[in-house]
């Protein structure tokens, strides 16, 4: 149950004037990525699964956005929401199997809506015909936590990265990030060499972070 006091606070936030610059948004994102990177390098086993990385990063972004005045936003159809979302669907559909004629919408691990467009677009589209009315994925983040010594782990990581690049290069994404955190993995050099041979879209940055047996390594590819 929502108290009258907290509901009144929500109502006061509806007309908030979003004036944060693009540069400031980038600073918020970079600060959170740096924080997550430092935490992983110090304590790589703090995260049991890739989902743990999602949750930790979501918390960092949520705190930073709230501190910047972005606790709530209001959509065109009067839904009070947040700019920050997990598993937000893509606008395009993708086929992984030939027997799937129409394909399915993918999902971003985490995204931030464009605050300048949020009041012009709906919370959720009702049909495929009005897909362009859904929110713009201003920032989108995909995660990967590769582990293991079998060659199949490398193949899986490269396939995963190719799909992430495809999703992030489309769907109105302004800034796309692929965040790779590796530990107990034998394929750093092969992975990075293969990624460098890919045609990475100009809106994407891939950040590779590794701590294996205390050896720390960071490399950033793509958008500067």
Whether 144 is in a domain gets the answer: yes
Whether 10 is in a domain gets the answer: no
- Number of domains forming the structure of the chain: 1
Dihedral, CA atoms, 202, 26, 30, 198, nearest 10 degrees?
-10
- SS3 string, 91-114, reads EEEECCCCCCCCCEEEEEEEEEEC
Task: Pull the structure tokens for residue 36.
Answer: 């997550």
CB 219 within 8 A of CB 192: yes
Whether 7 is in a domain gets the answer: no
Give residue 177's domain range.
16-222
Look up the pTM and report it.
Answer: 0.88
- For the segment 170-220, what is each residue's pLDDT rounded down to a tens digit? 999 999 999 999 998 999 999 999 999 999 999 999 999 999 888 999 999
């Amino acid at each position: 149950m929502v108290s009258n006091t907290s509901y009144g606070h929500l109502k006061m936030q509806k007309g908030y004037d979003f004036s944060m610059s693009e540069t400031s948004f980038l600073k918020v994102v970079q600060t959170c990525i740096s924080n997550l990177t430092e935490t992983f390098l110090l304590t790589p086993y703090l995260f049991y699964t890739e989902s743990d990385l999602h949750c930790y990063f979501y918390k960092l972004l949520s705190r930073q956005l709230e501190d910047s005045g972005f606790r709530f936003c209001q959509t065109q159809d009067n839904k009070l929401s947040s700019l920050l979302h997990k598993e937000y669907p893509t606008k395009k559909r993708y086929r992984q199997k030939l027997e799937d004629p129409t394909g399915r919408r993918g999902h971003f691990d985490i995204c931030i809506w464009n605050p300048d467009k949020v009041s012009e677009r709906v919370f959720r589209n009702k049909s495929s015909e009005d897909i362009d009315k859904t929110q713009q994925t201003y920032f989108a983040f995909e995660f990967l936590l590769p582990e293991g010594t079998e060659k199949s782990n490398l193949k899986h990581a490269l396939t995963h990265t190719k799909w992430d690049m495809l999703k992030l290069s489309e769907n109105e994404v302004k800034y796309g990030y692929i965040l790779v955190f590796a530990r107990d993995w034998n394929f750093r050099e092969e992975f990075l060499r293969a990624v460098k041979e890919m045609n990475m879209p100009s809106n994407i940055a891939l950040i590779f972070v590794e701590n294996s047996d205390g050896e720390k390594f960071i490399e950033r590819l793509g958008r500067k």
